Structure 1
Amino acid sequence: MSEPALHEPRAAQRLAWARTALGDAGATLERASTDAGFRSYWRASGDAPSRIVMDSPPDKEDVRPWLRVRDLLDDGGVRVPQVLARDVDAGFLLLEDLGGPTVAQAITDANADAHMQAAIAQLMRLQSLALPADVPVFGEALLQRDAGLFEEWFLRRHLGIELDCGDAERLELAQRRLMDNALAQPRVPTHRDYMPRNLMPVDGGPAVLDFQDLVLGPVAYDPVSLLRDAFLSWPEARVEGWLRDYHARAAAAGLPVPALDMFLRDADWCGVQRHLKILGIFARLHHRDGKPRYLADAPRFLAYLDAVVPKYRALDPLRELLERTIKPAFAKVTA
């Protein structure tokens, strides 16, 4: 997709800034990628080496949190994009071009082990960082917000469900148990979207993207985000093997992982909490933001829930809600 017509004010401003930052009056921009927020990424071509322009409209997505976390990660040895020029007030950054495919686009059955090993090594660097005292904690407030996304956007808005008293109690009980589990886990620096589409296979990498929401959070959260991805699925036996490998390496590195059986349970429960949240986010992207493509992955999340929830009696209220109410309503919506 080429740069939009220059009569669009933001497009003209972006191109003019890029040409000045590059020192190339003839440089052009082509869209490189977008994310689920308001940022967009543009590949600059011209006389200089290829660069990426990140456009973060200041009235919609302040670039300062992104820069702050980038610097924290970079200082701690985590591979992140290098910033070559910046205009914080205008919301423009000039970044190194890390290339085309993400890990999500490059990974196959044959090379998945190598990609996951590299991603786990990078994750352990991230989890080992010493964070400033003012970095947010993934605590009660964030967990309550995540829980609300599922009910408001996926159940009510997308499926058209108004829970009766019994179902509302089941959901509340299940969400409370998931939150209590997350709050009880040891805390480490947590990306919150550590998954293959946010990783770039480069030297010293994978390079980590979309890290601006870094918090101090549950130790099992990022490993399960990586291995039970929003956009890729792997056989459960393979996922458990990777989780066991992460656990052994993390324990050897001194990260605060619990005993293996407890860690595997914590990863399962963090995965359930995350999948419910992302169903809410994907529904919101569809209904509020006009981005329908994300909901195509909703069946993947229901399959994850089917694989994990029945393993735990404490999650029976959620299993009952899924079987009696959510899955029939989803079948009608997608028929």
Structure 2
Amino acid sequence: MLNHSNHDIFDWNPSYCDAVWQEIIQLRTEASTRKFWRCRTVSETFVLMYSPPATEQNDRFIQFAEMFKRYEVPVPTIYEYDLDNGYFLLEDVGVEDFHTQYELRNVDHCVALAFSCLRNIQSINEPIIPPYERKRFVQELEVFRDNLCFSLIDVNTDVVQSYFEHIVEEISALPKVTVHRDYHCKNLLVRSEPPFLGVVDFQDALVGPITYDLASLLYDCYWDHEHATIEKQIEIFWSQGLAMQYREAITHQEFSVLLKLTALQRLLKAAGIFVRLWLERKQTTHLKYVLPTLRKAQDICEEIEAVRPLGLWLQREVIPVTLLAIRRQN
């Protein structure tokens, strides 16, 4: 193999293809230790993934890829792998992500594709998928508390602990389905041929709240959907995407509130993770998303009376100090 990179993966010689790469493009940095390259031969395109065995669950990645394929979820085909070194040769399932398409004003088309795929994901019923346990929701809010509130800005969270507990209680009681867990605009790709969609970063899937992936999609940490768009898409999903047995058990308004509480938990967790990337790895790539993510969380709180004081706390005690802290880091 021609050595176009100083990474050891380019010393690997997969037998699936003639890996004389004509072009190599390193893909975006994500919030994990994995690395990706789009590699083109004369006639084909592949993705090389380095997934460090010490930090990533590569056996699960293989298992889940096969499982999602069985349920017609368009995840990448794994052509070849070297588990000892964490090397993978993958199908290229799309060049443009939803973020790029959103910028071209193709939001409704993209969300319709995501809804169609979501029905397949939620239909998965396999014992190998772990449950999204209540304690995990608690631990994820502790990521926000420990990294952003304590380490970055030194703000005590005792005054809002009861609201954290309310959020966890409400979303833990929701009906359970398989959830992707990172169903957002950077993990959903557009393709020119059927199925017109590619789904990546699926290996952390769990059986969790039925609202979870929809919350990830509509309250995206990397894109600001207009409020009217969010409300319209919630209505569409409730009337068309949500299975009848759930629509009979819950009103549209109740579903909307529970979805927003799910998004609130996820947004706070994400803000904590983005800060942790900087504190632990000196990785600044996600700092620019911290404040927009917190403001989305604040907006949700303003809509829901039960957590409105949490929104005021974010507005007064967290967001201004976080802004100053991030400015100092930059």
**The two structures share one fold, judged by TM-score above 0.5:** yes
In the alignment, is residue 106 of structure 1 matched against residue 83 of structure 2? Answer: no
Runs of 5+ unmatched residues, structure 2: none
C-alpha spacing 1:127/1:220, structure 2 compared with 1 (3 Å): same
What's 2:129 paired with? Answer: 135
Instruction: Give the conservation status (yes or no) of the 8 Å contact 2:275–2:290.
Output: no
Structure 2 vs 1, CA of residues 85 and 323 (structure 1 numbering), >3 Å: closer, same or farther?
closer
1:178 aligns with 2:167: yes
CA deviations on 1:244-266 (whole Å, 9 max, x unpaired) are 10111123x44635321111000
Which runs of 5 or more structure 1 residues have no equivalent in the other structure?
6-10
Q: How far 1:328 sits from its partner (Å)?
A: 3.3
Pair 1:19–1:48, CA change in 2 (3 A): farther
1:242–1:188 Cα change, 3 Å: same
Counterpart Cα distance in 2 of 1:69 and 1:24: 26
SS at match of 1:303: helix
53, 71, 74: which one aligns with 2:69: 74
2: distance between equivalents of 1:149 and 1:24?
41
Aligned equivalent of 1:329: 321
CA contact (8 A) 2:271 2:294 kept: no
Any idea what SS the aligned residue of 2:132 has?
coil
Residues 83 and 93, structure 1, Cα contact 8 Å, conserved in 2: yes
The secondary structure found in structure 2 opposite 1:293 is coil
Match of 1:121 among 109, 116, 122: 116
User: CA separation in 1, counterparts of 2:197 and 2:107?
Assistant: 13
**CA gap 1:324/1:42 in 2 versus in 1, 3 angstroms:** closer
Instruction: Note the C-alpha offset of 1:125.
Output: 1.1
| Equivalent in the alignment of 2:236 | 245
- CA deviations on 1:26-81 (whole Å, 9 max, x unpaired) are 66643133321011111223345121111112122231111111111110111111
- In the other structure, the counterpart of 1:297 is 289
Residue 196 of structure 1 aligns with which residue? 185
Moved more, 39-48 or 259-268: 39-48
Partner of 1:8: none
Aligned residue in 2 for 1:222: 213
Distance in 1, matches of 2:22 and 2:12, equals 11
SS at match of 1:77: coil
Tell me which residue corresponds to 1:262: 254
How far did residue 324 of structure 1 move? 3.7
Mapped partners of 1:94, 1:82: distance in 2: 9
Partner Cα distance (1:55, 1:222) in 2: 26
**Alignment check: 8 A CA contact 1:62 1:91 kept:** no
Change (3 A) 1:266 1:109: farther
How much does 1:18 deviate? 4.1
Check the 8 A contact 1:128/1:255 in 2, yes or no.
no
Partner SS for 1:53: strand
Instruction: Rate the CA distance shift 1:318–1:158 in 2: closer, same or farther, 3 A.
Output: same
CA distance in 2, matches of 1:106, 1:265: 28
- The residue identity in structure 1 corresponding to 2:287 is L
Which of 152, 172, 191 is 2:146 aligned to? 152
**What residue is the counterpart of 1:90 in the other structure?**
85
d(CA) in 1 for partners of 2:89 and 2:266?
Answer: 32
Q: Count residues with an aligned counterpart.
A: 321
The answer to whether 1:307 aligns with 2:299 is yes
Residues 30 and 43 of structure 1 are in contact (CA less than 8 Å); yes or no, is this contact kept in structure 2? Answer: yes
Which piece of structure 1 moves more, 14-23 or 212-221? 14-23
> What is the CA–CA distance in structure 2 between the aligned matches of 1:332 and 1:47, rounded to whole Å?
50
TM-score normalised by structure 1 residue count: 0.89
The one-letter code sitting in structure 2 at the alignment partner of 1:310 is: E
Alpha-carbon RMSD across the aligned residues, in angstroms, is 2.1
Deviation at 1:4, TM superposition (A): 3.7
Structure-2 change in CA distance of 1:26 and 1:247 (3 Å)? closer
Taking the aligned partners of 1:205 and 1:126, their CA distance within structure 2 comes to 16
For 1:326 and 1:272, how far apart are their aligned partners in 2?
15
Offset at residue 320 of structure 1 (A)? 3.8
Distance 2:281 2:323 in 1: 23
Q: What percent of counterpart residues are identical?
A: 23
1:124 CA drift (Å): 1.3
